[in-house]
Structure 1
């Protein structure tokens, strides 16, 4: 493996860009396992994206992966995966460079917070290096029923809705509207725990979401459009992310 392929090495794990078809196939196999699609998880967007693999150093085991599609501005949103499910006319006015983060998953047998840290560190290096001003994508709740996530979706509505100027509209044929009643204070912790780790990380950094979820029966998930303007990330969290990205 060429040294130039390594994006970040920290503790037990390293993150690197996929070097060819075999690496992309390995990422697709992990995605198939995590999303339980029943058939190989691959699509036409794979050929447009850069793929990042997080591996354990000692064994080379693939423990996490994601893909990244960089767009010069909001005008390129029609090329994104998210545009299948959301009306993104408002966001097309965004003038800065954007990056769609997709198919983020962690192997179910690997429960180590450092995996998420290394993944975000690698992502931070890529986003900083390419001058990305907005990170976006679909955060996925497991399953197509909203019932287990009532409090989580209500919390999203009442605390984390996208600014009106960027808010995605409805496009998909089957959607879930978030509950109108805010969760009780005692339910907030439970609501946060029911959210996917990727979504929680977005929100901690100042991210926002659409006002509805999309039911994706093929992937057996509920998608929530998630956006993060990099300029809005709190300075303290930027320093932490960049420290990880630099290997400090």
Structure 2
């Protein structure tokens, strides 16, 4: 896929994957040159590259699961997903989504979402899920945002992820910092805002990930719940 300035493609070589791992390390602020884990070997890597200079400006990886197969996902390391194992239909895990820190063009994210939309439609995906990261491991920086999530965006009981990680931050244990809704949204990762605008939901706790230096929340989005007008907008990008 191309929009004139950027090309989107699936990694086909070890070098492609290594380029994505290098961008991830840079975007997440890691002290190592590459961000690697065992899930890289059996998930699809999608890359967005500038057509002119060839710079990699965005990447993410996806895995498709059905039923109990979700227990093999990256997120299952940190969250109890037994309830989602009963979800009927294909589920797609979106992980390690990142944009180059020096790339500010909104078309980068647009074309990435266009590729995601194309894949969701072609594969008959019914649920998107993943771990949405907040930079840093101090929950005090996000009290207003976590309060907003707890108030308006918790997962339906039928799919509620339970605690499975060693170190978690329970939203119910936090006091709000008094931030209004607008300010709370501004402190929220852009990817999570996009999910929530489409009807997404989150876990009732964040996981403290010391390796990635992040707090992350399980995030889900049922395709059938996306408003029709937003579906038309997404499909119009393809």
Aligning the two structures, in what range does the TM-score lie when normalised by the shorter sequence?
A: over 0.9
For residues 26-175 of structure 1, what are the structure 2 equivalents within 5 Å? 26-39=19-32, 40-71=34-65, 73-175=66-168
Tell me, yes or no, if the aligned pair for 1:155 and 1:183 is still in contact at 8 Å.
no
Q: Which runs of 5+ in 2 are unaligned?
A: none
Tell me, yes or no, if the aligned pair for 1:85 and 1:214 is still in contact at 8 Å.
yes
What TM-score do the two structures reach when normalised by structure 1? 0.92
Name the CA distance, whole Å, in 1 between partners of 2:169 and 2:176.
16
What TM-score do the two structures reach when normalised by structure 2? 0.96
Name the CA distance, whole Å, in 2 between partners of 1:138 and 1:102.
7
Deviations 1:33-82 (A, max 9, x none): 111222221111011100000111221110000000011x1310111000
Deviation of 1:11 (Å): 4.1
Name the CA distance, whole Å, in 1 between partners of 2:102 and 2:176.
34
How many residues of Structure 1 are paired with residues of Structure 2 in the alignment? 236
For residues 13-24 of structure 1, what are the structure 2 equivalents within 5 Å? 13-24=6-17
For residues 167-186 of structure 1, what are the structure 2 equivalents within 5 Å? 167-179=160-172
RMSD between aligned residues: 1.3
Q: Which ranges of 4 or more aligned residues in structure 1 deviate by more than 3 Å?
A: 179-184
Deviation of 1:14 (Å): 2.0
Name the CA distance, whole Å, in 1 between partners of 2:195 and 2:7.
22
Deviations 1:217-239 (A, max 9, x none): 00100010000001111000000
